[in-house]
Amino acid sequence: MASGQFSLSTTAHMEFVDITTRLQQVVDDCGENNGLLAVYNPHTTAGITINEGADPDVQTDLIGVFRQIIPENYPYRHREGNSPSHMMTTLTGSSASVFIENGQLQLGTWQRIFFCEYDGPRSRKVWWKILAG
């Protein structure tokens, strides 16, 4: 069972960073042909999701919708100033799992894996683990 982590830096308050190529490189480097890749984000104001990567407007629309359904001006009791970011993280979640078949991540035609920043810009970490199968 291989595991590790990598760092990334975000450049905006809210953005989706495509980490698919980096994760495929992890699979390549580990040499595991079949199994499961688990990806985890250890931050409470950022998420991990799988969604369309062919059209960047999808990510822009997701951020726009999140901003519409999670108000900035709600009377949050958490006074740190990033409560909306915590709410958005709950929507996307903190992890994703992807099958590995013949050394390749098994994603749909348009699917990509994204690190979702909701409280940036920041330096972040992504943890991963490959379960052989």
pLDDT value of position 1: 85
pLDDT value of position 79: 87
Residue spans per domain, the chain: 2-132
pLDDT at 133 over 90: no
* Contact between residue 126 and residue 40 where contact means Cβ atoms under 8 Å apart: yes
Find out if CATH 3.40.50.720 is the number for domain 2-132.
no
Closest CA to 115 of 2, 6, 36, 4: 6
The DSSP secondary structure of the chain, one letter per residue, reads: -EEEEEEEE--SSSEEEE-HHHHHHHHHHHT--SEEEEEE---TTEEEEEEE-S-THHHHHHHHHHHHHS-SSS--S-TTS-HHHHHHHHHH-SEEEEEEETTEE---TTEEEEEEESS-S-EEEEEEEEEE-
- For residue 67, what are its two tokens? 């901003």
Whole-prediction pTM: 0.96
| 43-77 per-position pLDDT tens digit | 999 999 999 999 999 999 999 999 999 999 999 99
Pairing between strand 2-9 and 104-105?
A: unpaired
pLDDT at 89 over 90: yes
Provide the pLDDT confidence category of residue 84 given band limits of 50, 70 and 90. Answer: very high
120 against 79, higher pLDDT: 120
Q: What is the mean pLDDT of residues 94-113?
A: 98
